[in-house]
């Protein structure tokens, strides 16, 4: 049984890993949770965590371990709670089930489990810089089949500084996996030790990998309220080759919501024919008119009936309002709206309908362009990973030969170099995907706030106010239509999920 003695009290990084495989009810037994805890525990120890791991615990044992974890996490830099096993939702609360459960009703389920609320409260009271909850706990179970509970876990928000990652999205089922680890934990093992990779981007890679490996049947889910960056592994001197596309995507993401025309001028100097050059040119013109104007009367009537948050999202999409630096209050919006009004053609009246339509058009172009980049890189990633798998098998075979045959040593050195080069190529593609995947999600989540219900793909390049979009030469209709579908599907129950990634999987 785990107690505070299992943790070093002064540890900056602590982790509690619980894996329940051997349940009292035989039909509930799982193969991989114990393996998942062992493998993840070793990786976290290598990363400097003080790790307490336990397997096959009843509710009382999990409670004891959680109390010890809470004490050890006081003021920690990073506190990680990982659970693999059965989990269910009861009355809107998630329950992690202890191995002693052998009943047949909801009351027995409650008695034999600890709640996610209990886990969240423990971490919140401890007050680490960042608390991370990793739940590989949506395994298929007989309770849902018997109608005792709903399938999967329910969406639950954490507090400030807390990130919760679920193995799959609400109401869905996670796979135990056919290998030694579950699909979700395998993704964690592949990416958690990437040097300097922010936790949110790391989990983005995990989600991407799970979606690809399950052909979209499982989509991990993340809820987070984390402001600063936190990495599991420290950054190393960057030996990754420069990649123009990755650098451009990172540059664009950093300025996409800027309301300073100089940012877009600099982007155009560095990337005159870049992916977003036409939008950058348009924003430079719009912002130059805003810079010479002051709030004026024609903008004021909009505040009477319009939602400031919705207008802020639309103005941010147009590059006239930086929502990251200001709150959506009328004085801030007035200046942005006046810049928008001055950019309109003579005779055009400023209206919320026109604003939302113009913002939707620009967002459709940005999203469709990003989707094309994502498609290309997902195909490249799948190809490189297949090549890597073959190369690693060949490397093992050559290494075995070289143990008894010195003539194979030069071939072994070359094989090592080849595998290293493939890993570097994979790293470049993953960096590009980090940028484009995150940016698409930003555009999508912002668009949900203001998108007109009558939006159509004909709007891409179809409005006189944005003639430059007609001259890009991109074939965007298919991906613009896909973006419209994603906006329509992005209700609150799915927001935060990468469900849309399943639509981009390379066709075999």
pLDDT band at 44 (very low <50, low <70, confident <90, very high): very high
| Count of other CB atoms within 10 angstroms of residue 163 | 20
| 3-class DSSP string for 278-320 | HHHHHHHHHHHHHHCCCCCHHHCCHHHHCCHHHHHHHHHHCCC
For the entire predicted model, the pTM comes to 0.87
DSSP string, 331-349: HHHHHHHHHHHHHSPTTPP
Distance (Å, whole) CA 454 – CA 457: 10
Which residue did the predictor score with more confidence, 491 or 335?
Answer: 335
Residue in 457, 445, 458 with CA at minimum distance from that of residue 487: 445
For residue 155, give the nearest of 176, 132, 138 by alpha carbon. 138
Q: Which two tokens stand for residue 227?
A: 């402001």
Three-state SS at 506: coil
In tens, the pLDDT along 440-464 reads 999 998 999 999 988 888 777 544 4
pLDDT tens, 252-295?
A: 988 888 878 899 999 999 999 998 888 888 888 877 765 555 44
Nearest alpha-carbon partner for 461 in 453, 472, 469: 469
In whole angstroms, give the CA distance from residue 345 to residue 2. 70
How much is the pLDDT for 140? 61
Give whole-number Cα distances, 261 to 98, 108, 285, 334, 465, in Å: 57, 62, 8, 18, 18
Least confident of 40-49, 201-210, 355-364: 355-364
Q: How does pLDDT run across 315-368, given as a tens digit for each residue?
A: 888 888 876 654 555 566 777 777 777 777 655 667 888 889 989 989 998 999
pLDDT at 295: 46
Among the listed residues 89, 88, 15, 26, the one whose alpha carbon sits nearest the alpha carbon of residue 54: 15
| Backbone torsions φ then ψ of 36, nearest 5 degrees | -60, -45
State the chain's mean pLDDT as an integer: 84
What angle is formed at CA 411 by the lines to CA 410 and CA 414, rounded to 5 degrees?
A: 90
The share of the chain scoring above pLDDT 90, in percent, equals: 49
Query: Which one, of 114, 97, 103, lies nearest residue 30 by Cα?
Result: 97
Taking residues 103-114, what's their average pLDDT? Answer: 85
pLDDT of residue 104: 73
Residue 52 pairs with which residues in a beta bridge? 16
Rg of the chain over all Cα atoms, to the nearest angstrom: 26
**459-485 pLDDT, tens digit each:** 775 444 443 444 444 567 888 899 999
Q: Residue 342 class from Cβ within 10 Å (0-12 exposed, 13-18 middle, 19+ buried)?
A: middle
Which residue in the block uniquely carries the two structure tokens 């009558």?
454
Query: Rounded to an integer, what distance in angstroms lies between the CA atom of residue 209 and that of residue 457?
Result: 30
CA-closest candidate to residue 319, choices 363, 364, 378: 363
What is the 3 state secondary structure string of 73-86?
A: CCCCCEEEEEEECC
pLDDT band at 72 (very low <50, low <70, confident <90, very high): very high
């Amino acid at each position: 049984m785990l107690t505070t003695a299992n943790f070093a009290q002064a540890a900056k990084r602590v982790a509690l890993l619980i894996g329940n495989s051997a349940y009292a009810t035989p039909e509930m037994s799982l193969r991989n949770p114990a393996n998942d805890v062992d493998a993840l525990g070793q990786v976290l120890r290598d990363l400097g965590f003080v790790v307490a791991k336990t397997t096959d615990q009843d509710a009382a044992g999990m409670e004891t371990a959680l109390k010890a974890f809470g004490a050890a996490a006081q003021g920690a830099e990073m506190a990680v709670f990982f659970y693999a096993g059965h989990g269910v939702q009861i009355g809107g609360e998630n329950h992690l089930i202890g191995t002693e459960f052998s009943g047949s009703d909801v009351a027995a389920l409650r008695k034999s489990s600890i709640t996610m609320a209990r886990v969240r409260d423990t971490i919140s009271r401890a007050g680490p810089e960042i608390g991370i909850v990793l739940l590989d706990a949506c395994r298929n179970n007989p309770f849902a089949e018997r109608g005792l509970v709903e399938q999967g876990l329910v969406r639950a928000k954490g507090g400030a500084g807390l990130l919760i990652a679920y193995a799959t999205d609400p109401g869905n089922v996670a796979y135990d996996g056919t290998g030694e680890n579950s699909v979700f934990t395998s993704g964690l093992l592949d990416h958690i030790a990437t040097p300097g990779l922010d936790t949110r981007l790391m989990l983005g890679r995990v989600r991407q990998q799970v979606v690809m490996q399950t052909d979209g049947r499982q989509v991990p889910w993340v809820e987070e309220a984390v402001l600063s960056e936190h990495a599991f592994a420290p950054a190393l001197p960057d030996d990754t080759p420069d990649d123009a596309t990755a650098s451009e995507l990172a540059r664009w993401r950093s300025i996409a919501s800027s309301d300073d025309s100089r940012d877009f001028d600099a982007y155009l100097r560095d990337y005159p024919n870049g992916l977003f050059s036409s939008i950058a040119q348009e924003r430079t013109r719009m912002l130059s008119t805003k810079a010479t104007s002051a709030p004026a009367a024609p903008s004021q009537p909009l505040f009477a009936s319009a939602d400031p948050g919705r207008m802020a999202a639309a103005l941010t999409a147009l590059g006239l309002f930086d929502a990251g630096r200001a709150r959506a209050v009328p004085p801030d919006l007035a200046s942005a709206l006046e810049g928008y009004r001055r950019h309109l053609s003579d005779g055009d009246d400023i209206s919320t309908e026109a604003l939302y339509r113009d913002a939707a058009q620009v967002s459709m172009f940005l999203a469709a362009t990003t989707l094309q980049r994502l498609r290309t890189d997902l195909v490249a990633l799948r190809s490189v990973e297949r090549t890597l798998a073959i190369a690693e098998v060949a490397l093992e075979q050559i290494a075995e030969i070289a143990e008894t045959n010195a003539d194979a040593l030069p071939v072994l050195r070359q094989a090592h170099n080849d595998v290293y080069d493939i890993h570097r190529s994979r790293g470049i593609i993953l960096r590009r995907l980090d940028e484009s995947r995150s940016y698409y999600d930003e555009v999508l989540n912002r668009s949900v706030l203001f998108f007109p219900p009558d939006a159509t793909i004909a709007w891409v390049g179809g409005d006189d106010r944005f003639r430059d979009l007609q001259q890009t030469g991109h074939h965007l209709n298919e991906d613009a239509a896909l973006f419209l579908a994603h906006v329509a599907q992005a209700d609150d129950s799915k927001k935060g999920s990468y469900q849309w990634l399943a639509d981009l999987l390379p066709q075999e």
